[in-house]
Amino acid sequence: MELNLISTLFYFLLAILLLVTVHEYGHFIVARWCGVKVLRFSIGFGTVLASWHDKHGTEYALSLIPLGGYVKMLDESVDKVPKKDRHLAFNNQSLGVRTAIVVAGPLFNFIFAFVALWLVSVIGIKSLAPIIDSVRPLSMASRAGLAAKQEIIAVDDKKIASWHDFQYAIMPYLGTNQSVSMMLQSLANHQKKTIQLPLTDLKLDDKKPDLLESIGIVPFIPSIPPIIGEVVEHSPAFLAKIHAGDVILFADKTPIHDWLDLVDYVKVRPNQPVQLVFSRQGIEHSVSVHVASQMEQGHAMGFLGIRSQKPDWPADWLRLQRETPVRAIGVAFNQVAQLTGTTFLLMGRLISGQLPLHSLSGPVGIAKGAGASGRNGLTYYLSFLALVSISLGVLNILPIPLLDGGHLFYYLLELIRRRPLSETQQYIGHCLGLVFLGALMIIALSNDLFRLS
């Protein structure tokens, strides 16, 4: 199995395990605090692979299908409950207690996101400055007045320190006809100017939804010397006895001036031999390497199993975002609030048709994001986990039967009617919710498969 695929699966499963555990632990611990008996805490669905019990009689289970989990509580609507245990049953709790237990799952997702983003702020994250290398002719960016060798320093008065910040600042405007205000600074004379970028014609590519490319911005990526920093064990390069520190000079007589030259050359030659000429301690060597193959976007791509040496870029090209532990509290809180609001906005636009359904991603899209962020380092992975945790929290509080929000909607009706819905009414709601969620999953998976094709 290819190394990238293995790492993607690892980071995806780790993300699912963490986020599902956090969500279900919220339900579990609040149920315990409220005196409700918990029968099972399961990570995953289906066949139980492993389980154990605690002193309270709760079963902790790891189940076959890892895409979710559940907390099973004592409940008279599900099982026959002995008279002596009725006070421990979920259905016999007050409306306030039941609401608290249901809310706790999504709430813990938001708390997890806050902790993750706080850690990112304290550890610090170093990113390339959002410098424009070029602007595509006749693009939105070109018509708005963006030009090469400008740095984006603010969007709608929000400070921008990286391309990551820029994309997050633009996200709330997806699916609208609004314009965003951008402050730019020239690298030549440091003069600042503000322009308006209309998003009326913004359309993301169905297969590769790249925001910068859709706007018409080509980001500045500094040159990376073709010096090998790491060779993966048992990879094609390892078998060819290529070492860290070797400088690649030629690939099949094609000069290699930059690391991306080598990447581009190898990617289009899966399962083919490539003659590499490299320099080691000033002495040139030549070796034939059989390029391996891995799947990307549904196509076979070549790879050698090497990583570049960490480049020593000038400080002007980099931005370090780091806060003190105290200041990071406010930063993390604002980020959670902003991302939560943006997620609600985008979901609303999906439902209203302002955003097309093909912008949805399913498990494959999440797995790719997990793999890419995990390989980039801890802070990037924590940021990814925070975003997915917020999305999970928002999704779960939507008033859809079967989700936590569906239960909360039932409780709201119970409060208004002063009596709960009948079992038949709840059953009908659950069926409708199942159909809706099934359709949503089919659309998301179809989008994933379409992007792989």
Statement: residue 149 has pLDDT above 70? yes
How many angstroms separate the CA atoms of 143 and 127, rounded? 28
pLDDT for 209 equals 65
Q: Name the DSSP class of 373.
A: H
Q: What are phi and psi of 190, to 5 degrees?
A: 65, 15
**Beta bridge pairs of residue 193:** 184
Q: What are phi and psi of 359, to 5 degrees?
A: -80, -10
Statement: residue 2 has pLDDT above 60? no
Q: Each residue of 334-352: pLDDT tens digit?
A: 999 999 998 998 888 888 7
> Which long-range contacts (C-beta less than 8 Å, at least 24 apart) are formed by 107-110?
107/26, 107/393, 108/22, 108/23, 108/25, 108/26, 109/19, 109/22, 109/23, 109/26, 109/389, 109/390, 109/392, 109/393, 109/396, 110/336, 110/340, 110/389, 110/390, 110/393
pLDDT for 377 equals 85
pLDDT for 30 equals 96
Q: For residue 120, give the nearest of 380, 406, 420, 361 by alpha carbon.
A: 380
27 or 310: which leads in pLDDT: 27
Q: For residue 172, give the nearest of 366, 384, 343 by alpha carbon.
A: 343
Statement: residue 21 has pLDDT above 90? yes
* Share of residues in the chain with pLDDT > 90 (%): 39
Q: Give 355's pLDDT tier (boundaries 50, 70, 90).
A: confident
Q: Give 449's pLDDT tier (boundaries 50, 70, 90).
A: confident
412 or 355: which leads in pLDDT: 412
pLDDT for 298 equals 63
Q: Each residue of 191-201: pLDDT tens digit?
A: 999 999 888 77
> Which long-range contacts (C-beta less than 8 Å, at least 24 apart) are formed by 391-397?
391/343, 392/19, 392/23, 392/106, 392/109, 393/23, 393/106, 393/107, 393/109, 393/110, 393/113, 393/340, 394/106, 394/340, 394/343, 394/344, 394/347, 395/347, 396/23, 396/105, 396/106, 396/109, 397/103, 397/106
pLDDT for 312 equals 74
Q: Give 387's pLDDT tier (boundaries 50, 70, 90).
A: very high
Q: Each residue of 83-105: pLDDT tens digit?
A: 888 999 998 999 999 999 999 99
User: Cβ contacts of residue 18 below 8 Å, gap of 6+?
Assistant: 112, 385
Q: Name the DSSP class of 95.
A: H
Q: For residue 309, give the nearest of 227, 377, 235 by alpha carbon.
A: 227
Q: What are phi and psi of 73, to 5 degrees?
A: -110, 160
Q: What are phi and psi of 89, to 5 degrees?
A: -80, 145
Q: Give 364's pLDDT tier (boundaries 50, 70, 90).
A: confident
Q: Each residue of 216-251: pLDDT tens digit?
A: 899 988 888 899 988 888 889 899 999 989 999 999
Strands of 139-256 (E only): list them.
150-155, 158-159, 179-186, 192-198, 217-219, 228-231, 247-251, 254-255
Statement: residue 426 has pLDDT above 80? yes
pLDDT for 1 equals 43
Which stretch of DSSP H or E encloses residue 427?
helix 423-452
Statement: residue 206 has pLDDT above 60? no
Maximum average pLDDT range among 195-204, 304-313, 396-405: 396-405
Q: What end-to-end distance do the CA atoms of the chain give, in Å?
A: 20
Statement: residue 210 has pLDDT above 90? no
Task: Give the domains, in start order, of the chain with CATH numbers.
Answer: 3-34+93-123+389-452 (no CATH), 125-222 (2.30.42.10), 228-312 (2.30.42.10)
Q: Each residue of 44-59: pLDDT tens digit?
A: 888 889 999 999 889 9
* Catalytic sites, residue numbers: 24
Q: Each residue of 150-159: pLDDT tens digit?
A: 999 999 888 9
